[in-house]
C-alpha cells in the first residue's frame, strides 16, 4: 500500500511525503525543521526511515528548513544540478550530505524509482514522478506557470497526481499584490491557476487517473473552497462526479492532510 500526504502545503511552505512499507520520501522542506519533525512524529515516522529528500527548487517556501535538518541528519538530497549547486554554495547542503543531481535521470532511492522533469518557473525547477515498490505511480508538479508537453507526459498514466492550484485569476488581479508580482505569478514562469489545473485534471481523468491532490494554494489569492469549486464545475460539466468517480483533495496549508492511498 502506497500513501501520499503533505505535512504542509501552500505559498508559506511546502513538504510532501510518499510512504510505502514504513519507508518514505520527502519532497521539499519549506518550513522549519522543528515543524517538519513534529509532523513526522505525529505520523509515527522516524527520520531514520526517510530514504531521501527531493527538492523542486531553491525558493524559501521549499527549502527554509533544510539547512537545520541536514545539520542533524545525513539524509541524501536529490534535485536538478542548478538547484543543488545553489544550495551547496549557500551552505544549505553541507559537504557531508550526499547531493545527487538528477536532471531527467531515474534514480533508485530506497525501493522507490524516481525521475525528475523540468517545470516552467522563474528559477530552475522540477517535478517528480515516483514509482513505488508495489508498482504504483504518482507525480507531483508545483511552481509552474504553464503545463508544457514534458510536464503533461510525466503526469500521464499515474495512479495519483499532486498538482498546483495556486491562484484564482479574479482574486489575483483584483487583490492587494503589486502589479509586478501579479504579472510574475500569472506568467508562463509563475504559477498555475485553478482553471488550468482543472483542465489538466479533466485530461488526466480521461486518461485513467482517479486520485488528485491540489497543492500550493495561495493564502491571499485562493482558498480550498474556491479551488475545489472551480475544479468541480469543470468536471461536472463533463459528466464526472467528484467524490464518486474521482477523489480530489485540497491540501492543508498549515497542517498534515489526510493520507491518500494510491
The tally of domains found in the chain comes to 1
Instruction: State the residue for C-alpha cell 518557473.
Output: 121
What pLDDT score was predicted for residue 104? 80
Report the pLDDT averaged over residues 59-78: 98
The whole-angstrom separation of Cα 168 and Cα 44 is 35
Segment 109-135, tens digit of pLDDT: 999 999 999 999 999 999 999 999 999
Share of the chain above pLDDT 70, in %: 100
How many residues in total does the chain contain?
Answer: 262
Which domain range does residue 253 map to?
Answer: 2-261
Share of the chain above pLDDT 90, in %: 99
Instruction: State the residue for C-alpha cell 528559477.
Output: 123
Q: Nearest-CA neighbor of 69 among 54, 101, 47?
A: 47
The whole-angstrom separation of Cα 65 and Cα 32 is 4
- β pairing state of 2-8 and 137-141: unpaired
What pLDDT score was predicted for residue 60? 97
Segment 175-198, tens digit of pLDDT: 999 999 999 999 999 999 999 999
Mean pLDDT of the chain: 97
The reported pTM is 0.97
Q: CATH code at 188?
A: 3.60.15.10
What pLDDT score was predicted for residue 107? 97
How far the first Cα of the chain sits from its last, in Å, is 7
Amino acid at each position: 500500500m502506497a500513501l501520499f500526504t503533505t505535512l504542509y502545503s501552500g505559498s508559506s511552505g511546502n513538504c510532501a511525503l510518499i510512504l510505502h512499507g514504513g519507508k518514505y520520501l520527502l519532497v521539499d522542506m519549506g518550513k522549519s525543521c522543528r515543524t517538519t519533525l513534529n509532523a513526522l512524529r505525529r505520523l509515527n515516522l522516524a527520520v531514520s526511515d526517510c530514504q531521501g529528500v527531493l527538492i523542486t527548487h531553491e525558493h524559501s517556501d521549499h527549502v527554509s528548513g533544510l539547512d537545520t535538518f541536514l545539520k542533524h541528519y545525513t539524509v541524501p538530497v536529490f534535485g536538478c544540478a542548478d538547484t543543488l549547486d545553489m544550495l551547496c554554495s549557500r551552505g544549505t547542503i553541507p559537504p557531508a550530505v550526499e547531493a545527487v543531481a538528477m536532471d531527467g535521470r531515474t534514480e533508485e532511492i530506497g525501493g522507490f524509482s524516481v525521475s525528475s522533469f523540468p517545470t516552467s518557473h522563474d528559477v530552475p525547477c522540477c517535478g517528480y514522478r515516483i514509482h513505488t515498490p508495489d508498482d504504483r505511480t504518482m507525480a507531483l508538479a508545483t511552481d509552474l506557470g504553464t503545463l508544457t508537453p514534458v510536464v503533461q507526459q510525466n503526469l500521464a498514466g499515474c495512479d495519483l497526481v499532486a498538482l498546483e492550484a495556486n491562484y484564482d485569476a479574479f482574486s489575483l488581479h483584483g487583490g492587494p499584490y503589486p502589479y509586478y508580482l501579479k504579472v510574475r505569478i500569472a506568467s508562463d514562469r509563475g504559477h498555475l491557476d485553478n482553471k488550468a489545473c482543472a483542465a489538466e485534471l479533466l485530461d488526466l481523468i480521461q486518461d485513467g487517473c482517479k486520485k488528485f491532490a491540489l497543492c500550493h494554494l495561495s493564502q491571499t489569492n485562493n482558498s480550498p473552497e474556491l479551488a475545489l469549486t472551480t475544479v468541480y464545475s469543470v468536471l461536472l460539466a463533463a459528466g464526472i462526479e467528484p467524490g464518486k468517480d474521482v477523489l480530489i483533495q485540497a491540501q492543508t496549508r498549515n497542517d498534515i492532510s489526510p493520507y491518500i492511498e494510491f
